[in-house]
Structure 1
């Protein structure tokens, strides 16, 4: 198992600060935001200094009903090789649904959504993980995600689900303690119970991040300071096993470098607290064992049944402490289930995921068994994240529309799923704003029209290009 140390998520906004930050052993980059042939100079300088770089994928969708996309796997492999990474990581989540498997429209979530903890979903996930492992040049680790919603009819706890996944595939685990805290608040799941059920020897590294609570719901924002409850979960984990690496995630609302360094210091201290707790617990156990042995000797001496220098008594098996976990990950044994998943299993999972995603992004009825209120919270969170990402990939739009950008985008997103990624989403949004007539003629409208025409070209892609161009052209002339 690679020992990584203390790390931080590398982002372009804090690249210079990360390079100057003391005590950074490794960094993690979003795989989809890097190009193997054009790596940022900052990453190159870090690598030259011996800082390990790990690509972290967000779009593979290993928990989806479909088999992993070969193109996405190839891209992830290329990034691992370009960065000289010892491993790559992804999420236990689905990010798209529908399509040929379910004979329904393809839908994109634009975010990580939880898979049901059922036997069907586990079978599909295990096969998808094996497919990914075979395509990647380095080991794969998969991350537990935060969830606002719970699937009805789940058959396994989070710890049991992760244990079986690691046991059947040999995959390593990226444990996000912030996500364990999120699921504690949102789903009533005990982080300590999840940690007790995990195969701790399979942990590749640990994520730590901040969030906020609103109306009893915890939002894993990656844009707020790491709270004490998350650090407490990290301490609990470190009291059970020495994590090979711990990394601070921050994706936006970046503070001053000194604040990031302070958070890293708090993370290191939380790990040390856990290690000290483990040492104390072991000393107490050894003291109890020694006391029991002395008591047994004295008892035998008093009865004249044994010499004082005789052997120590053997403890019953139930009392023998479990050995410390090895440094090697769980490996799938010869009995690992490697048969292909039945097509009907994938289809059942696909139909369920498509129904949920459609309710979240297309406004269709909520599937039976789900909490309608929580689904509403999740739908709004997806739309808000979508608005934020579009603002990043098309930063001109918030500038052109000003304070009207966000409400206009949220109104547009209601019932309109993404149809081709975030850049296409930006074009579709701009087109809709131009067509719906709410933006009055003036500077903003002229700038938005120019922006859309520059990026759409003379014949935007559509089911009927000429009709669409004519429709938009007539609307623009009228405005």
Structure 2
């Protein structure tokens, strides 16, 4: 495992702040959501950044390497294609599951995997499949969670270090997620930071959130809190990260506020690190040299990955994991009973958050719908009514079409002109006539029979 090249301080590139990002002083690099770009048709502002020599890292959100199924070869190929097109030194993804195949359900969000031996075995094999298919190294991000799984067998720290030991994969540590899990699951960020081999650290994410009724919501739509910067400072005491990136995905602030948040991050990184604990040593500037007390060094990581590379996960293990994940995801998106052992209140909070996110993403992918329906409030009410018990199965664009079809079958909106406009919108994208009530009844009967 080679030391990471120095990245510096960067920001997550989003179309809504593209012009502001180009003007940010001292910007070293950016990260882009891999699924939001097309390699042959990069947005002009992103192309200009590349021409200036700003490094661009693709960050995937849809692989679901923590899921029970093996990684989709098409998604892996697409992620690798984006890495090549951007000239990126690595690609990143998440330690999460995002869908199930039996039944077919999409979360539209990153969900935590159980910290069990079964889940770790499946994740390690999926990571090795991804590593073999990708043209550049892979790093995986720890995620934020609203709830724990019942029956966990490993701590977060042990889960991550065993993943590194067995695959040689790098880690993208999100310090905001560490803070989120401290509030929501009682996990100590220091335990995770102490366990991470500095050689395995790819880079760091920093993001904002908000606490409501004792639950921390990792919104990426609020300013970075002092508590999150404190976790970054603790990481800095233990190792010098190759790069730190500010994430903002919604409710974008004025340019000067983005600049202020980047200055705050730079100030933490510039502060003199505390003396390392006995037996520990920090990496030299711009590198991630091994730590004497780390789980292992870079050579050992590579050796461990080679030793376990021949391991295979049985279908029975994947089936067990798949059944647990399907039961949870169905409770979250299809209103089925909450599986035994989960905190029902936390699952209800997560279900509401998933529905709200789904409504927001569909509105962004099809902005005509809120306008046709008379504004955001009317759209949101109608969409949440549609989504209750109707899980997403094929992505947000298909979800928007299904929502429009759902309204038209019910002769909605009530206003004739709006209904006419919605019909035209649906036909333009679906290329067919919306089914009438008789078709809906037939579908219902077929579904019950199945």
TM-score of the superposed pair, with normalisation by structure 1: 0.85
**Aligned pair partner of 1:216 in 214, 217, 220:** 214
| Structure 2 equivalent of residue 378 of structure 1 | 350
Deviates more, 1:32-41 or 1:446-455: 446-455
Secondary structure of 2:302 counterpart:
coil
Distance 1:362 1:471 in 2: 21
228 and 7 in structure 1: CA distance in 2 versus 1, 3 angstrom threshold: same
Work out whether 1:277 is the aligned partner of 2:273: yes
Secondary structure of 1:444 counterpart:
helix
Work out whether 1:397 is the aligned partner of 2:366: no
Distance 2:48 2:415 in 1: 49
**Aligned pair partner of 1:37 in 37, 40, 48:** 40
Distance 2:222 2:206 in 1: 11
| Structure 2 equivalent of residue 55 of structure 1 | 58
Distance 1:137 1:388 in 2: 34
User: How many Å apart are 1:469 and its aligned residue?
Assistant: 9.1
Q: How does 1:238-257 map to 2 (within 5 A)?
A: 238-257=236-255
133 and 337 in structure 1: CA distance in 2 versus 1, 3 angstrom threshold: closer
User: How many Å apart are 1:432 and its aligned residue?
Assistant: 1.4
Q: How does 1:277-356 map to 2 (within 5 A)?
A: 277-278=273-274, 281=275, 321-324=279-282, 327=289, 329=298, 330-333=301-304, 334-336=306-308, 338-356=310-328
Contact 2:282 2:289 in 1 (8 A): no
Q: How does 1:128-207 map to 2 (within 5 A)?
A: 128-207=126-205
Distance 1:459 1:430 in 2: 12
Distance 1:365 1:471 in 2: 27
Contact 1:98 1:351 in 2 (8 A): no
Contact 1:212 1:224 in 2 (8 A): yes
Work out whether 1:446 is the aligned partner of 2:420: yes
Distance 1:335 1:45 in 2: 44
User: How many Å apart are 1:369 and its aligned residue?
Assistant: 0.6
Number of aligned residues:
424
Contact 1:205 1:246 in 2 (8 A): yes
User: How many Å apart are 1:466 and its aligned residue?
Assistant: 12
User: How many Å apart are 1:435 and its aligned residue?
Assistant: 2.5
Cα RMSD (Å)? 2.0
Larger Rg: 1
Deviations 1:110-147 (A, max 9, x none): 11000001111000000000000001111000000000
Distance 1:470 1:323 in 2: 68
Contact 2:128 2:309 in 1 (8 A): no
Secondary structure of 2:249 counterpart:
coil
Deviations 1:204-257 (A, max 9, x none): 000000011111111111111001000000000001000000000001111111
72 and 466 in structure 1: CA distance in 2 versus 1, 3 angstrom threshold: farther
* Residue ranges of structure 1 left out of the alignment (5+ in a row): 100-104, 286-319, 473-479
* Residue ranges of structure 2 left out of the alignment (5+ in a row): 291-297, 444-450
After TM superposition, what 4+ stretches of structure 1 lie above 6 angstroms from structure 2? 469-472
| Structure 2 equivalent of residue 412 of structure 1 | 386
Contact 2:427 2:433 in 1 (8 A): no
Contact 1:211 1:224 in 2 (8 A): yes
Secondary structure of 1:246 counterpart:
strand
Distance 1:232 1:332 in 2: 35
Contact 1:210 1:226 in 2 (8 A): yes
Secondary structure of 2:307 counterpart:
coil
Deviations 1:347-405 (A, max 9, x none): 10001001100111111111111011100000000000000100011000111111200
